[in-house]
Chains A and B, each alone.
Chain A
Amino acid sequence: MIRKEINKISEVGKALISVEGNPGVALNHVVELLEADSNQSLSFAKAINITEDSTRFQVFNGTTGLSTSTKIRMHEIPLTAGFSNKMLGRSFDGAGEVSDGGPDVIFEKEVSTRLDTLNPTVRNVPKQALWTGIPMIDVFNTLVKSQKIPIFAGPTEPYNRLLSQIAQGAQADVIIFAGIGLKFDEYHYFKEQLSQSGNIDKTIMFSHLAGDSQIKGLMLPDVALSVAREFGDQGKDVLVLLTDMTNWSNILRNVANYQDMIPSLQGYPGSLYSELAKRYEVAADIEGAGSITIIGATTLESLEDPVPDNTGYITEGQFFLENGKLKLARSLSRLKQGVNGKTRSDHRAIMTAMASLLADAEKAHEAAEVGAANDPYSQKLLRYRTDFIDNVEEPFGEPIELEAALDKCWAILKRHFDPTETGLSKKLIEEYWDKN
């Protein structure tokens, strides 16, 4: 097939180019940019704004090196992502091109990256746990298949290490790692961790490094999520790890700025909520098929920043990472009620009792700071608090099964309290207290 070519780039800016007139390209369709003389492919680009006087494109590889003589070849199709089961164990860039230096992947099919909305009537009400092997999640804020949930963390917190830990322990069929704006050491860390873990053969990496073309970072979640969705449609339980969505939002902000869009809060476009929601809403438990679960990392300075704030309204809770610990008080899984009543009989009771004691312990801790926690019970609470932070809020280490994690919780309670102080029912005390 001979593809139509044009040769009249009129404007080259940051990440964007424009051509004069109407070359007959359709919205969101892909074009290829070629060196004028050698016909060497320089980049792909996508039509984002078309008028009868000019057409504007987002250039996937950035605009450095492009000139007004660069040729544009029309592909007359919207952006798609290649899909194949052979992608498992491999690495790709934001446009879905092989990036691990290995052989090309022969794709079985091309899937749309438009991320059409799943008809809500086809969604199952989420009721199946996705066990991670991390007690703070499994016991206290159970992750549920189809959940969308961010890790809120300061920029220096080990949120990527946590994601990697989850990837290694998670009981999912396919794990899709989507990294946007990664620093090289982060990228390297993930690669190392994943290749050492038993989950490498069910993992696909999509990565975009800081300094890579912004447009490739911008499109990376769509490519990764489209591939994830195809696995989900085929009946697989897929876990998608997005890191870091603040980087992604910042690229969105940059590109909106290049397009002269009117900013709303802190320079982000007014569409930030809708854009984040479009990606997170891919998470679903699909009737008659599999499921897609999304854990996103959101770095923040303050919870009131537009990215975490909008994310909180979109997602089903959040995991809060602080000083390297998963904090019970600030984390929430909105879907846990649907699953934690069907596990061991002590699960919900242990969760409530320990949380309530921890809240009391926090008060004692505050009182202790002004020297007002000298009574024996306050001292108990303080020792419990330390134990809880060190042994329950600690997310790193060997994955632990739920039952073992619950037993560990009983052991902690027993270390510090009399049975009556725990608020747990007699029946549960009789059943579990002396076993641990």
Chain B
Amino acid sequence: MTGPRGLRGDIATCDVAIVGAGVLGAAIAARLSTTTASVCVLEAENDVAEGASKGNAGVAVSYYGPPGTLETELITASTPRWEEITTRLSVPYRRLGAIMVALDDAQAAHLVETRDEILACGVRAELISPLEARRQEPLITEGCVAGLLMPDEGVIDPIALTVAYANLAATNGVQIRLGSPVTSIDSLEDGRHLLATPRGIVRCRFVVNAAGISAGRVSAMAGGEELRFWPRKGQYAVLDREFAQSLRRIVFSTPSAATKGVNVVPTTHGSALLGPTASDHSDPEDKATDPETINGLIASASLLVPDIAPEMVIKHFAANRPASDEQHRLRFDSVVPTLLHCTDRSAGVSLSPAAADYALDLLNSAGLDALPRKDAVHALPPAPRLRTHLDPSALIAANPQYGQIVCACEHVSAAEINRALEQPVPATSIDGVRKRTGATYGRCQGSLCSAGIAFLTALHTNTGPATVLQTARGSVGS
């Protein structure tokens, strides 16, 4: 079939087209998928969670800013739900709690203000003595002069969360089109939108703009408001879990007016993340690290946790979050009434559950009329990991592939890798397997196992050793 502008491909018709399969787009897709609304997701990259959703510290925050904003309201509404959501979607999560550390009197004064602001948000927080801070997290520096305990903060695997939202949506029949950058959005006479991509055309009543850093471009194509976004680069260092697994809590630095500062965050993999830094720039494709920033990052982190040493760093990376003059948007466009913007500066993971509910309410109030569907699936099959499972013998007894370790550092089994390659939104690259399982994420960074993972990935994607994708964008060979 040939569509408008000579583009070839099927024209799919749906109620809602979601542009962007980061954590917010995927969360909204998952929420709408349990209703009678028909949904299509268009993602420019060849995998979900390719932007800020894969490059963040993995904290499900309980507090991120002053009370009275929609962002805060959504975070506060999401916070108590994590245990239920992550169990239902089989996503790694631990409510570790966080301690914000003050290193001098000025920071200690700031902790008091922060405590007051957190309480005003209706969230728990408690000022604690340096002694108590170090009792709760013995790795905190002796230079700590005051602490702020935030017991409701948790660590989550943000990539697994995004993939799980997408898998749930796909299970309920949502079309997830990867490698489908939107190239134009036309308005039809009946008020519908026509979204063109290199892989087909979608006609819909509502467009959800969850395109992160590209959301300004999407709004412009749809004839909407001028939204301005720019990349805020954050660099991170990953610490070996042989050290990091002894961390008990998230350790935050006291934010200044300029920046939230560098934090020490245990991950659900057992490693720890140091970061992020924050520098505004203009090229969203620029995700380069530089040694000066990484060294500075490690130095800042070791002010909080002095045992941190440069030789514990097993990886560094950078990612861009979508900075904008409006820190959070979950509202209809003021020009195009059926264009719903959904973007956040940094807290997308933390507010995603409530944001998805709120998006559904907004769409319904604008005439979507989506009703709960009786046959909808709300939970994903359990996806246990060998390394963190309480009873590995039972896992291996149920599926022999659990005993076959592929990634030796992180103890990721063939069962987990095959599951990643076979799920509704499967891994199609070595990096896609890493994102879903943690394989190659350890201290040898795939020196030992990436040949084996490449082989399994090639088998599932019908490629060869040179043509198999290493990342979502590029193959092993050139």
Q: Do A and B associate with each other? A: no
Q: Which residues of A contact B (CB under 8 A)?
A: none
